[in-house]
Chains A and B, each alone.
Chain A
Amino acid sequence: METAIFYIAALVAALATLRVVTHVNASHALIYLVVSLLAVAVIFFLLGAPFAAALEVVVYAGAIVVLFLFVVMMLNLGRTSVERERGWLRPGMWIGPAVLAAVLLVSFVFVFWGTDAKTSGEMVGPRAVGIALFGPYIIAVELAGFLLLAALVGAWHLGRRYLEERRGADDFPEEDASPDEAAPEASAEGNA
């Protein structure tokens, strides 16, 4: 039963990811990306990592792709961009990437052919994940924190410059010019 669900989820993930690359409409491609992430979350859950599965949905599907979609909606890419994408995605375009991906696939299969790496299938609870993160992997957590802080400061800086220009231009009262764009960007970092 679990093996069947695993293969179904893996198939959904692979097909959805393929559609992310090949779809000409940016917003549809993003929804395929969400489907792919949800399928990966199911796989995580089956492999005994419920915490990672939940975070996959909360952070990747629930915050980061929302922001992608947000930007796509703001830019309001209509029929013209679909046409342009279609021009870019000519059949000939696929030869190079397909060959490279095939090489990767072959080496991947080669590496995993002999190894007998099974997951224990045992559920690793949130507590164990937390202990691992703040024990042996504390450096990685701290470095990720630095990176996110840098991103946050960067987003604030960009938003501030935009605001100052606006303020100088038409003398807006201070509270009226709040950073609508900067805020959701920062949220992804805060959430991640």
Chain B
Amino acid sequence: MLILPVAVGTLVAALFLVWWERRLLGWWQDRLGPNRVGWFGVMQAVADAIKLLTKDDWVPPFGDRAFFVLAPAVVAGAMLMALAVIPFAPDWWIVDVNIALLWFLAMSSLAVYGVLLAGFASNNKYALLGSLRAAAQMVTYEVFMGLSIMGVVIHAGSFSLVDIVEAQDDLWFVVPQFVGFLIFMIAGLAESHRLPFDLPEAEHELTAGFHTEYSGMKFGLIMAAEYVALIVTSCMIALLFFGGWKVPAFLGFLDFLPPVFWFGAKVFVFINFFILLRAAIPRPRYDQLMGYGWKLLLPLSLVNLLVTGALSL
């Protein structure tokens, strides 16, 4: 019964996250950011949504119409489906299956299709280059995104996210799995193609990459999916490595606050961290990104898995 609130709530959160991100970036870059509409500019998000909804929804006549319409739905649908397995607090989840972690990986790998189809259907060389980059990048980073969380699975002995959170009663997994945490964070960033790793849509080189031809609400949906991916990745980090809804040990005196507050707070911290990364780190070159993944992160995640497995025998 949580399906509708979770889906709608996440989309609304994604909408306001755009405003929040612009304000934070403005603050860090010593400028104001959107501060005119509503209180502190918070209504800017609503204004943006109205603008997107009333814009001309143009489908390029030279492309592949069916794929062009399908692509944004695939991106957004896959990311919203990933939310289905996320537990927000004890007994606050849509489903708890024993393959929850694999479900998340499956959904994030299906999201690749949206990006690929968007670029392919646009029949535009910038879009095509963007989606080729996206496909290679996402398939690459998926490999060790999966490998990096296997250490957590070894510790918890389950793929279920609820079990994983319950297993972190004494110690958050970020301590024994610090390497796994770093790799998962980098891979999550690449999967949601956010700024240091936004090569599929690098605006200096590729206009807007795979969504160059998109306008109106189709563009809005792609944008929203990116923010939902950011939220989902932050949720996964909080669940897998930072004890989900559990109260941090050093704040034990605050345990009268509801579990969902702690979960939300952790997720919010990671979202802000990802936004800060955007302001702080420039984009790498494409071959650097791929080389970094295959030559450094993949061996590192394999070694991490090997050591974790050996130690827990």
Chain A residues packing against B (C-beta within 8 Å):
27-28, 31, 34, 50-51, 53-55, 57-58, 61-63, 66-67, 69-70, 73-74, 76, 123, 125-127, 175-176, 178, 180, 183-184, 186-188, 190-191
A82 to B99, CA, bound (A): 40
Query: Which residues of chain B in 260-313 are interfacial with respect to chain A, using CB atoms and an 8 Å cutoff?
Result: 286-288, 290-291, 294, 298
Interface: B149 (CB within 8 A)? no
Chain B residues packing against A (C-beta within 8 Å):
64, 66-67, 97-99, 102-103, 105-106, 109-110, 112-113, 116-117, 119-120, 128, 131-132, 135-136, 139-140, 142-143, 146, 157, 159, 286-288, 290-291, 294, 298
Closest chain-B Cβ to A81's Cβ sits at a distance in Å of 14
Residues of B within 8 A of A55 (CB): 102
- For A183, give the chain B residue with the smallest CB separation: B290
A28 to B117, CA, bound (A): 10
Residues of B within 8 A of A67 (CB): 139
A49 to B231, CA, bound (A): 30
A187 to B147, CA, bound (A): 12
Report yes or no: A190 in contact with B109, Cβ–Cβ below 8 A.
no
With A27-B67, A183-B140, A187-B140 as given contacts, are A73 and B116 in contact (CB-CB < 8 Å)? yes
Residues of B within 8 A of A73 (CB): 116, 119-120, 128, 131-132, 135
Q: Is the contact region of chain B dominated by helix, strand, or loop, or is it mixed?
A: helix
Residues of A within 8 A of B113 (CB): 31, 34, 66, 69
With A54-B103, A63-B142 as given contacts, are A69 and B109 in contact (CB-CB < 8 Å)? no
A175 to B131, CA, bound (A): 23
Residues of A within 8 A of B99 (CB): 50-51, 53-54, 126
Residues of B within 8 A of A180 (CB): 136, 286-287, 290
Report yes or no: A50 in contact with B97, Cβ–Cβ below 8 A.
yes
- For A56, give the chain B residue with the smallest CB separation: B106
- For A59, give the chain B residue with the smallest CB separation: B109
A73 to B97, CA, bound (A): 36
A184 to B112, CA, bound (A): 13
Residues of A within 8 A of B288 (CB): 175
With A54-B102, A62-B142, A126-B99 as given contacts, are A186 and B294 in contact (CB-CB < 8 Å)? yes
- For B286, give the chain A residue with the smallest CB separation: A180
Residues of B within 8 A of A74 (CB): 132
Closest chain-B Cβ to A10's Cβ sits at a distance in Å of 20
Closest chain-A Cβ to B286's Cβ sits at a distance in Å of 8
Provide a sorted-by-A list of 26 A–B residue pairs whose CB atoms are within 8 angstroms: A27-B120, A31-B113, A31-B117, A50-B99, A58-B105, A62-B106, A62-B142, A63-B139, A63-B142, A66-B109, A67-B139, A69-B120, A73-B120, A73-B128, A74-B132, A125-B98, A126-B99, A178-B287, A183-B136, A183-B140, A184-B135, A187-B140, A187-B143, A190-B298, A191-B143, A191-B146
A178 in complex: contacting residue of B103, B146, B290, CB < 8 Å: B290
Report yes or no: B106 in contact with A58, Cβ–Cβ below 8 A.
yes
Closest chain-B Cβ to A191's Cβ sits at a distance in Å of 5
Max count, chain B CB within 10 A of own CB: residue among A54, A74, A180: A54
With A51-B99, A70-B116, A74-B132 as given contacts, are A184 and B139 in contact (CB-CB < 8 Å)? yes
A57 in complex: contacting residue of B106, B116, B143, CB < 8 Å: B106
Report yes or no: A62 in contact with B110, Cβ–Cβ below 8 A.
yes
A127 to B160, CA, bound (A): 12
- For B159, give the chain A residue with the smallest CB separation: A126
A54 to B159, CA, bound (A): 11
Residues of A within 8 A of B67 (CB): 27, 31
Closest chain-A Cβ to B128's Cβ sits at a distance in Å of 7
